[in-house]
Amino acid sequence: MSAGRASWRTALAAALLLAASAPALADAPQARVRAVEPPPAPLPPPEPVFGSPYHGREDGIAWGGHGDLRLGYDRVRGVANPEWFSVERVNGFFEARLHPRILIAAQGAYDRETDDFVFERAELGIRARDSWEVHGGIFLAPLGRTNLEHDAPRQEFGDRSLVATQLIGVPYAEVGAGVRGGARSGAGCPVSYELDVVTGYDDGLVMDSPGGTRLPRGRNNYGDKNAIPALAGRVALHPSARTELGLAAQSGQYNATRVGGVSVDRPRYVHLVVADAGTEVAGFRVWSEAALALIDVPPGLKPLFADRQWGGSVELARTLREPVFRAWKSTSLTAALRADAVDLDRAIPGDSRNRLSASLNLRRLPFAVGRFGWYYEVLRDRFNNGTPSAGLTLTVASYF
């Protein structure tokens, strides 16, 4: 079976899972951790930080952070990778509630995916009513639960999914303003929502991407090169405390049409749709996500740059033992399996990635996790030549 067909089937399986069921969030954190479950009526807006342990007081000043280390034995085409140790992520945040309805927050992180220090939050939030709030500044784009909630100690895998890293560009923060809140559907099901005006992706998704169209190359959370805002939003249903079904999208112009007062191009747009869902079935936590990107590429670049990309991911996790030993209070042993794939150019057989991952995790709830992982991946270039890679990993993540 060709990698293109495998990519189609993996992504299709993710889409079918999204349509058929709703996935599971991780177990609710213990005391001194913000709740990720939709609150009872009246529904307050969701907090920008989900489930992070913190120091201080949530109704006053709170701060905290986390770090993630990776040790791995990776082989590409049978050759070992000498970079066996890396710092995957270091994060710190600060929040100050100046008034019961006014919150200011700052969060910065070094992330290996961006290979840079990035401000993920420099945000002011004002609760206008009990059920919604307005906010502005730099904040994480509402492009799926993966981007909104990617604290390393909460994840089952040391590496994020291909959908998150290759299509969305997690972590992805933008300058903007908007509103977020909660309501109830006609059937009484809690609904959370967010709608923002943001800077959007820039022309780096083409101009800084020699290997083909790459949306993560267009991340820019400090300004808007074309001075035309994009629109981003997400709606999520919460049928139960462990179930969520979300749909998000972002659409906006990515190129500058005038340089030095001279018209150089017409407006060109990028549209990204992200669906995520999860539930718990027979003791298994099921999580899936899928994304579709449509890019208006200049005609002269279309032979090398894709105008359609998509991918999907399905993840299963189960708690094997909790606590691990009687003397080890607040511990758990979990196992997880994930299949994910992305097709970065739908017009050709190649330019795709397929990966299968497994992980065995020892947790100290809710503060730290050690993960023993394995993965196998096939990367195909634009000529459909496959490059296999595999590895064994040990990742350690902890709040501090």
Give 115's contacts (C-beta < 8 A, 6+ positions apart).
Answer: none
The answer to whether residues 243 and 113 touch, using CB atoms and an 8 Å cutoff, is no
Can you tell me the distance from the alpha carbon of 335 to that of 321, in angstroms, rounded to the nearest whole number?
10
The answer to whether the peptide bond before residue 45 is cis (omega within 30 degrees of 0) is no
| CA–CA separation, 311 and 289 (whole Å) | 8
pLDDT tens string 280-316: 999 999 999 999 999 999 998 988 999 999 999 999 9
- Using an 8 Å Cβ cutoff, are 349 and 2 in contact? yes
Instruction: Tell me if 334 sits within 8 A of 156, measured CB to CB.
Output: yes
Confidence (pLDDT) at 370? 97
The two tokens of residue 220 are: 């820019």
Neighbouring CB atoms inside 10 A of 38's CB total 22
Amino acid 112: pLDDT: 87
Give the pLDDT confidence score for residue 51 in this predicted structure.
62
Q: What is the pLDDT of residue 41?
A: 40
Prior bond of 42 cis (ω within 30°): yes
C-alpha 33/C-alpha 48 separation (Å) is 13
Q: Are strands 132-140 and 116-129 parallel, antiparallel or unpaired?
A: antiparallel
Q: Specify the 3-state DSSP secondary structure of 164.
A: helix
Structure pTM? 0.85
Could you tell me the two tokens for 37? Answer: 């479950």
* Positions in the chain short of pLDDT 50: 1-50
Q: What pLDDT, on the 0 to 100 scale, is given for residue 168?
A: 96
Burial 170-182 (b: 16+ CB within 10 A, else e): bbbbbbbebebbb
Name 248's Cβ contacts closer than 8 Å, sequence gap at least 6. Answer: 142, 143, 144, 232, 233, 234, 235, 273, 274, 275, 276
Residue 71: predicted pLDDT:
97
* Residue written as token pair 């420099």: 122
Which helix (H) or strand (E) segment holds residue 17: the answer is helix 3-20
Domains and CATH numbers, the chain: 3-399 (2.40.160.10)
Residue type, 115: D
Q: What angle do CA 21, 24, 28 make, to 5 degrees?
A: 155
Burial of 263 (0-12, 13-18, 19+ CB in 10 A): exposed
Q: According to the model, what pLDDT value does residue 67 have?
A: 96
Q: Give the H/E segment covering residue 286.
A: strand 284-295
